[in-house]
Structure 1
Amino acid sequence: MTNYEKTFKEIKKLVEDNANIFNLPNNYKNSNGYFPGFLKELLDNYEKFFKDKLNAIINEKIPFLDNQKDVILNKIKKLNKIILDTLDFYYAGKPFKANQIFTQGLEEAFLKDIQYETEIPKGKNFYRARPDNGKFFESKDLFHIDFKLRTLVSTNRYSIPGFPSLYLGDSSYVCWEEFGKPKFRNLWFSRLQNKENIKIIEILLVDDFLQKIEQEIDKGFKFTYILRYLVYFPLTLASTIKVKNSEDNFKPEYIIPQMLLEYVIGNPEIDGIKFPSTKVNYSSLTKIDSYNYVFPVKTNKKEGLCDRLKSLFELTHPTSLEMEELLNNPAHAPTYLYGGQLEPEKKIEITGEKELYYYNTSFGKIEYILGNKKLKVL
């Protein structure tokens, strides 16, 4: 075992032993404080954890250029300052200056020496949902909103008013959660696949990140990946805070995520952002991918759809459980096996009573149906 492998295991154990620092999403609702102050406390706590628990190990075990010390700690401090300065200027009524600080800060903090984007190989399944409105949907209705309807685009965590984006989920389940758990039969779904490799900024919960590098990353690179995660964890903290009051017109919890989206819009090398839902109880899921994705349009038109996104994705004709039962409702219902085979490792717990096999739920059923539908280009 190399020194880097040993150091990775040492850092990983410290991260796991201090799960409270990495627990997401944080709930601002229980705080009576000023939002910038609340976020500063989160960032300060993380910086202190890194300084007290990890910094000495990294200084000792990693030979940085010119024997520099505190290299990773200084990057974390710099990113913390960028985030807090961005908030200060935004609160001062200077959103342009706030965006300038944020964008330039990310360039300086990351792009020079840390690769913080990741690549999704072509052929990954995504899901898109839309509530029933009494009409039959076409494929284009399950893509991003038409440019001519941009006035309908409101503010959300990763949504800039008036700016269309394509929002997707890893599963039909996370789509259902994002719509506030409506009647499932009233949701229409399409399955989408990326036709080529796509680059994204990936915001991961720590457990998912550690599982990913254990399963997917060669042992010689695990150390590099965990350092990268630790460096940009302040951005993860700032982007995953639950909304204190959903009725408010101004939601400060959206400032940093929207700045990050704007950064992606202006970066031709990055296609989108992967991020956890603040509505999903991830502890209730077993081996079920349930992250959200946002892919902002990269072209601007008077009407129609983004040429870049149309070239990236193909999708199925939309359907719903209600529509499928109208079209195919035999006396003896078939057994649905997601993807043509049982996946017993996938389980979900919703009611608080017991875990269920995902393929036996309505989520598994609609994904099985969509898995057998043809993909087409818009």
Structure 2
Amino acid sequence: MLPKDNFYNLILEHRLPLNRKDKSVKEFLKSYYSRYIKEYKNALKRTEDCALREECYKLLNDKTTTLEELCSDILKVFDYYDSADMLGLYNHFDEMMEKISALLVTRNIGTVGHETYKNYYRIRAGEEHFNRIDLFHIPLNKREFIKSYRYSIPGYPCLYLSSGVEMCWFECGMPKEFSYAGFFLESSDNNKVNIIDFTIEPVDLVSSVSIHYINHPEKAELIDEFLAKYIILFPLRVACSLEVINRDVPFIEEYIFPQQLLLWVRSNNIYDGIAYRTCSSIEHAREWNYINLVMPAKTIVDGYCRHLNRLFTVTEPVKVEISNIIRNRDGKLRTLEKTLMIFETEYYNGHSMYPCREIISLSKTFLNLCSMLKSNNYSNANAIYQTLDTLNLMSNILCDNKETIKSKALAKAKELDYRLDEDILIKRFDEMIWSFEETIKPIIFEFWNFAIRIRTDFPCNYNSREHVLQ
């Protein structure tokens, strides 16, 4: 159980990503920042339930002006952008970041430690069998293919990675065919990598801070400062973490601020990139807890960044077809189809009980989705994945509440014929649910998270690692 504190509550109540709905980005941020500052000031009123030290509260009180100035400076970025004053925008952004640079949470990755930030993947959609250089960043001489992304400089190469293949697949629009490779950060104490870290989650922060206070009381001041960094710079993360309302338009308003931030990183010799969490609208993607990493090219020779090449070794790419993940499990689908036929025979011969029809519908929907995946006959992979998630949840609900459902089934059966023997009804119901639990539900569960089968069905050879450019 997490300890109680005003600022712990503030941290836990403000989670990312955020949806601006029908407001412009600037309007949304202005309203959000106003509320955040108000809640911040209210949290400064220390009570008996507060777990944080008085010294921490004093530090946060002293940082109030810094928080207000940061929120104001972020909103001014949009003023400069709207007035097309690019020189003013560049100078203002640089001044803003210089003021808060000491508060940035960074990871200075060397030989030992920070293992979570060293192993990544990258994919490239398409039917071709790509090689290592195809999965590296887009070369400068093909800059016309560099699209607008959350963290990107339009027309300028960046390397986008994720610590999970599944997350790469989501971020790339869930393509039907692609190649992927493992990227391994070869940092050392003589060649350290410095990244801005936007990956800390609210629950993890509160939990770790409370534990560190207990285990390391001699470092209480450093813990206070770390907590203050997160709280004060949270508005910066907000500006970078808005869900995209419409991806099918040439200009994406939610990308204005994070793109400016990466431009600043590109022109700054201190930082190599930004680590961040996904802003995917798919809840399950956020639950994976993967890290995304973006690193702009800085030392380009013959189209490719020599600095990024030195930092990473890359495995031989592996070709993946999503349809084969389903095809590899045809035997289990045939088992489900046979079980479904038994349910249908029962139902159409008039001997069914509630929820036989619901089980039939659930199973048919699942088989139709698998058929679409197997034949590549779909255009919205997001909808397929979300529907499979719903079917899995409904299967769990059905089994978790079988006793309640049994009572309803008996009542409905007796409505049709009060002379029916209750023992026979109970036996029939138990047999139906047992069949569903033992056969249908496990198969739906296995297919539900089919994205995680990518690495098991199409493993890459980790011993094949080498630098892209020799």
Distance 1:208 1:60 in 2: 19
In the alignment, which residue of structure 1 is the partner of 2:10? 15
Deviation string for 1:304-345 (max 9, x for gaps)? 31011011111101012359x8xxx9xx9xxxxxxxxxxxxx
Residue 19 of structure 2 aligns to which amino acid in structure 1? Answer: N
Cα deviation, residue 209, structure 1: 4.1
Q: Larger deviation: 121-130 or 268-277?
A: 121-130
Q: Indicate yes or no: 2:456 matched with 1:377.
A: no
Distance 1:135 1:215, change over 3 A: farther
CA distance in 2, matches of 1:83, 1:70: 21
- Say if 1:314 and 1:38 are closer, same or farther in 2 by CA, change over 3 A: same
Partner residue of 1:39? 29
Deviation per CA, 1:258-307, whole angstroms, max 9, x where unpaired? 11101110111211011222215455666x43231110001234x33101
2:212 and 2:305 map into 1 onto residues whose CA distance is 33
Kindly state the Cα deviation for residue 119 of structure 1 after the two structures are TM-superposed: 3.0
What does 1:127-276 correspond to in 2, within 5 Å?
Answer: 127-132=121-126, 134-183=127-176, 186-196=177-187, 197-204=192-199, 205-210=201-206, 219=216, 220=219, 221-276=222-277
Whole-angstrom CA distance in 2 between matches of 1:12 and 1:315: 42
Cα distance in structure 2, aligned partners of 1:63 and 1:131: 49
Output the CA distance in 2 between the equivalents of 1:45 and 1:311: 45
Matched, 1:85 2:76: yes
- Give the distance between the partners of 2:205 and 2:141, measured in 1 at CA: 39
Evaluate the alpha carbon distance shift between residue 121 and residue 127 of structure 1 in structure 2; reply closer, same or farther with a 3 A threshold.
Answer: farther
Contact 2:171 2:280 in 1 (8 A): yes
8 Å Cα contact 2:277-2:289 kept in structure 1? no
Query: Where is the helix percentage greater, Structure 1 or Structure 2?
Result: 2
216 and 315 in structure 1: CA distance in 2 versus 1, 3 angstrom threshold: farther
Structure 2 equivalent of residue 304 of structure 1: 303
Asked if residue 351 in structure 1 is aligned to residue 389 in structure 2, the reply is: yes
Deviation at 1:120, TM superposition (A): 3.9
Change (3 A) 1:285 1:146: closer
| 1:48 alignment partner in structure 2 | 38
The residue number in structure 2 matching 1:294 is: 294
Identify if the C-alpha distance between structure 1 residues 211 and 360 changes in structure 2 by more than 3 Å, giving closer, same or farther. farther
Aligned residues of 2:80 and 2:89 also touching (Cα < 8 A) = yes
Aligned with residue 70 of structure 1, among 58, 61, 66: 61
1:116 counterpart residue number: 105
Alpha carbons of 1:68 and 1:136: their partners in 2 closer, same or farther (altered >3 Å)? closer
- CA separation in 1, counterparts of 2:451 and 2:256? 39
Equivalent residue for 1:27, pick from 12, 19, 35: 19
Separation in structure 2 between the aligned mates of residue 68 and residue 227 of structure 1, nearest angstrom: 8
* CA distance in structure 1 between the partners assigned to 2:283 and 2:463 by the alignment: 29
- Structure 2 partner of 1:316: 315
Could you tell which deviates more after superposition, 50-59 or 174-183? 50-59
Distance 1:251 1:373, change over 3 A: same
Separation in structure 2 between the aligned mates of residue 320 and residue 216 of structure 1, nearest angstrom: 44
Deviation at residue 36 of structure 1 after TM alignment = 1.2
- CA shift for structure 1 position 370: 2.5
Structure with bigger RCO (C-alpha 8 Å, 6+ apart): 1
Q: Is the 8 A contact 1:299 1:306 kept in 2?
A: yes
- Counterpart-to-counterpart distance in 2, 1:63 and 1:231: 13
Q: Secondary structure at the match of 1:70?
A: helix
Distance 1:13 1:161, change over 3 A: closer
The TM-score with structure 2 as length reference comes to 0.64
> Would you say the 8 A contact 1:128–1:167 is kept in 2?
yes
- Residue-by-residue CA offset, 1:15-66 (whole Å, 9 max, x unaligned): 36x52xx1221112x22x33311111111111111111136589982289xx
Deviations 1:194-234 (A, max 9, x none): 11042111113423544665789974343322211111100
Partners of 1:216 and 1:280 in 2: how far apart?
Answer: 33
Partner residue, 2:456 = 365
Q: Secondary structure, in 3 states, of the residue corresponding to 1:320?
A: strand
Identity %, equivalent residues: 25
Q: Larger Cα Rg: Structure 1 or Structure 2?
A: 2
Question: 1:358: Cα distance to partner?
Answer: 7.4
- Give the conservation status (yes or no) of the 8 Å contact 2:122–2:180: yes
Rounded Cα–Cα distance in structure 2 between residues aligned with 1:319 and 1:211: 39
Point out where structure 1 has 5 or more consecutive residues left out of the alignment. 1-5, 333-347
Q: Supply the RMSD in Å over aligned alpha carbons.
A: 3.6
Q: Relative to 1, partners in 2 of residues 1:285 and 1:102: Cα closer, same or farther, differing over 3 Å?
A: closer
**Contact preservation (8 Å) 1:358, 1:364:** no
Q: Determine the C-alpha separation between the residues in 2 that align with 1:223 and 1:98.
A: 33
* Structure 1 residues 359 and 154: CA distance shift in structure 2, 3 A: closer
Rounded to whole Å, the distance in 1 between the matches of 2:457 and 2:204 is 25
| Equivalent position of 1:344 in the other structure | none
Cα distance in 2 for partners of 1:120, 1:358 equals 32
Distance 2:163 2:211 in 1: 18
